[in-house]
């Protein structure tokens, strides 16, 4: 499988190069040159397949022969060593729980798969030290830090916005040490992301550090997110109805990966991109005008993104045809008060505890059902509620349990370097 740059389709790249470099030389995101549908026999056998085999069949065309079958299956097995349960909440509403991994967030899947792939290529080709430079609005940092911790030949540098991630999220990315360094930025996530992109454009930095990104702009972080749509479908297929997914959306890599799963033939009826007050895509689907704006802080902080990087991949999937996009994607936006009300309502009615991101996904699904009452849907619970403990407990009026793995992290000392601007980031990377 080759990949082209979304800035220059004449530029072609192998999977290995796309993983190691992260971005094309023109700084465009990589996109697969071809997506071939999976055979009907795969979907017939899907309900009885082990989840690692499901993932292997889904991803193998995107990797090709660049990672041997046995090694690729090993990477997948290490990536998916936890469950992805679909839980019935009420009526035709389900939730896909993606928080059963080591950092209790959906990003464990992409981070672990990328760590395995990048680690394989570094060892195989002796490419030398690689620096994974990543911006986080919440859960990416912890997942990347955990996934790459101790991987030989890789340094990890994580930028996060000061005071705009939860206490648990901050602890997860600032307490590991070893080959992981956390940089605390005095600004919003968009500034962190802009600084990372600027570093990739800086020839002086590139001359002394081999940079790659572990944000979902990297194909090895982005594509594995399609795994859990397949795993969810095999749990819901017996419903015998059209299935829709409501995806809490920030940088839009997650929902875009689901759309790739659909392109592979997975029978998903529709996608809902559920946004918080950062409603760039909601407004685009209403007006046809794409107008990025500065992000605003919300209680669902992992989605506080005003210019989602992966939306260009969605545009490519649908040939930049506005009508095609609207046919496959609906988007709604909700403020913090409505989100809290949903958390409270669902807990009182069903006993199910949602985190703020899952609550936004639930709201989007409920709104979609107003016009599509006979369909079955799942909203994605992207993080364990304990990662937003104060917000959740305030909403439901009850204390929630903290897993032992999180209790251990809370007792560790935060270690982060304060950075004010790009000049200080550059100085750090050149040191």
Residue with the bigger pLDDT between 365 and 124: it is: 365
pLDDT level of residue 329 (50, 70, 90 thresholds): very high
pTM of the model: 0.91
Q: Are residues 238 and 307 in the same domain?
A: yes
Asked whether residue 40 is assigned to any structural domain, the reply reads: no
pLDDT above 90: residue 406: no
Share of the chain above pLDDT 90, in %: 79
pLDDT above 80: residue 403: yes
CB 296 within 8 A of CB 264: no
pLDDT above 80: residue 241: no
**Six-digit token pair at 177?**
């040490």
Q: Are residues 358 and 284 in the same domain?
A: yes
Helix axes 107-125, 139-148, angle to 10 degrees: 40
Q: Are residues 239 and 344 in the same domain?
A: yes
If one counts every other C-beta atom within 10 angstroms of the C-beta of residue 397, the result is 9
Residue partners of 319: CB distance under 8 A and separation at least 6? none
If one counts every other C-beta atom within 10 angstroms of the C-beta of residue 91, the result is 11
pLDDT at 407: 86
pLDDT above 80: residue 138: no
Task: Please give the full DSSP string across 210-255, using - where no structure is assigned.
Answer: EEEE-STTSHHHHGGGGHHHHHHHHHHGGG-S-EEEEEE-SSSHHH
pLDDT at 201: 85
Q: Are residues 199 and 225 in the same domain?
A: no
Asked whether residue 25 is assigned to any structural domain, the reply reads: no
Q: Which residues are catalytic?
A: 107
If one counts every other C-beta atom within 10 angstroms of the C-beta of residue 18, the result is 25
pLDDT above 90: residue 229: yes
pLDDT at 223: 98
pLDDT level of residue 303 (50, 70, 90 thresholds): very high
**Nearest one of 231, 222, 223 to 54, comparing CA atoms:** 231
Tens digit of pLDDT for each residue in 243-253?
999 999 999 99
Q: What is the mean predicted confidence (pLDDT) over 121-137?
A: 85
Tens digit of pLDDT for each residue in 408-418?
888 899 999 99
Q: Are residues 365 and 343 in the same domain?
A: yes
C-alpha–C-alpha distance, residues 213 and 138, integer Å: 16
pLDDT at 404: 87
pLDDT above 80: residue 127: no
pLDDT above 80: residue 240: no
C-alpha–C-alpha distance, residues 126 and 398, integer Å: 53
**Six-digit token pair at 81?**
């060593």
Per the structure, the count of domains in the chain is 2
Q: Are residues 202 and 153 in the same domain?
A: yes
Q: What is the mean predicted confidence (pLDDT) over 417-426?
A: 95
C-alpha–C-alpha distance, residues 233 and 6, integer Å: 30
Q: Residues, the chain, total?
A: 431
pLDDT above 90: residue 353: yes
pLDDT at 11: 94
C-alpha–C-alpha distance, residues 310 and 319, integer Å: 15
pLDDT at 142: 86
Sign of CA dihedral 142, 147, 148, 150: positive
Tens digit of pLDDT for each residue in 265-283?
999 999 999 999 999 999 9
Asked whether residue 118 is assigned to any structural domain, the reply reads: no
Q: Give the strand pairing for 2-5 and 30-32.
A: antiparallel
pLDDT level of residue 139 (50, 70, 90 thresholds): confident
pLDDT above 80: residue 126: no
pLDDT above 80: residue 100: yes
Asked whether residue 71 is assigned to any structural domain, the reply reads: no
Asked whether residue 52 is assigned to any structural domain, the reply reads: no
pLDDT at 150: 87
Q: Are residues 99 and 201 in the same domain?
A: no
Q: Are residues 330 and 408 in the same domain?
A: no
Q: Give residue 202's domain range.
A: 130-208+401-430
Give the mean pLDDT of the chain. Answer: 93
Asked whether residue 18 is assigned to any structural domain, the reply reads: no
pLDDT above 90: residue 359: yes
Tens digit of pLDDT for each residue in 363-378?
999 999 999 998 999 9
Tens digit of pLDDT for each residue in 74-84?
999 999 999 99
Asked whether residue 365 is assigned to any structural domain, the reply reads: yes
pLDDT at 264: 98
Q: Are residues 317 and 426 in the same domain?
A: no
Burial class (CB in 10 A: 0-12, 13-18, 19+), 295: buried
C-alpha–C-alpha distance, residues 52 and 74, integer Å: 9
Q: Are residues 200 and 227 in the same domain?
A: no
Tens digit of pLDDT for each residue in 169-210?
899 999 988 999 999 999 988 899 899 989 988 999 989 999
Q: Are residues 367 and 408 in the same domain?
A: no
Find the CATH number of the domain harbouring 151.
Answer: 3.40.50.1100
Among 4-8, 218-222, 240-244, 414-418, the minimum mean pLDDT is found in 240-244
Radius of gyration of the chain (CA): 20
Q: Are residues 325 and 373 in the same domain?
A: yes
pLDDT at 371: 95
Asked whether residue 54 is assigned to any structural domain, the reply reads: no
Q: What is the mean predicted confidence (pLDDT) over 299-311?
A: 92
């Amino acid at each position: 499988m080759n990949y082209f740059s979304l800035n220059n389709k004449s530029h072609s790249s192998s999977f290995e190069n796309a993983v190691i470099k992260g971005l094309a030389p023109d700084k465009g995101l990589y996109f697969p040159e071809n997506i071939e549908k999976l055979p009907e026999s795969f979907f017939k056998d899907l309900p009885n397949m082990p989840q690692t085999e499901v993932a292997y069949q889904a991803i193998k065309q995107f990797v090709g022969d660049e990672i041997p079958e046995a090694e690729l299956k090993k990477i997948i097995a290490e990536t998916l060593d936890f469950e992805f349960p679909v839980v019935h909440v009420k009526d035709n509403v389900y939730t896909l729980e993606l928080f059963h991994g080591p950092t209790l967030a959906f990003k464990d899947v992409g981070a672990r798969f990328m760590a395995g792939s990048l680690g394989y290529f570094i060892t195989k080709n002796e490419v030398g030290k690689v620096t994974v430079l990543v911006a986080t609005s919440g859960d990416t940092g912890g997942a990347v830090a955990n996934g790459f911790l101790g991987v030989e030949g890789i340094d990890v540098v994580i930028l996060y916005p000061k005071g705009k991630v939860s206490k648990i999220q901050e602890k997860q990315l600032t307490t590991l040490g070893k080959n992981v360094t956390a940089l605390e930025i005095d600004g919003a996530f968009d500034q962190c992301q802009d600084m990372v992109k600027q570093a990739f454009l800086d020839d002086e930095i590139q001359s002394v550090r081999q940079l790659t990104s572990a944000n979902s702009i990297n194909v090895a972080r982005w594509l594995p997110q399609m795994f859990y749509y397949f795993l969810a479908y095999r749990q819901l297929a017996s419903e015998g109805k059209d299935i829709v997914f409501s995806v809490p959306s920030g940088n839009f890599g997650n929902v875009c990966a689901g759309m790739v799963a659909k392109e592979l033939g997975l029978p998903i009826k529709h996608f809902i991109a559920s946004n918080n007050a950062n409603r760039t895509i909601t407004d685009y689907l209403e007006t046809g005008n794409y107008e990025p704006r500065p992000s605003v802080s919300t209680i669902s902080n992992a989605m506080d993104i005003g210019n989602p990087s992966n939306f260009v991949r969605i545009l490519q999937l649908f040939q930049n045809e506005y009508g095609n996009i609207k046919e496959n994607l609906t988007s709604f936006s909700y403020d913090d008060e409505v989100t809290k009300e949903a958390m409270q309502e669902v807990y009182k009615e069903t006993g199910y505890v949602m985190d703020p991101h899952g609550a936004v996904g639930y709201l989007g699904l409920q709104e979609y059902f107003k016009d599509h009452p006979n369909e079955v849907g799942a909203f994605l619970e992207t993080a364990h509620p304990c990662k937003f403990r104060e917000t959740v407990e305030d909403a439901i009026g009850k204390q929630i349990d903290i897993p032992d793995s999180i209790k251990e992290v809370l007792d560790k000392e935060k270690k982060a370097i304060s950075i004010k601007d790009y000049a200080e980031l550059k100085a750090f990377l050149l040191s």
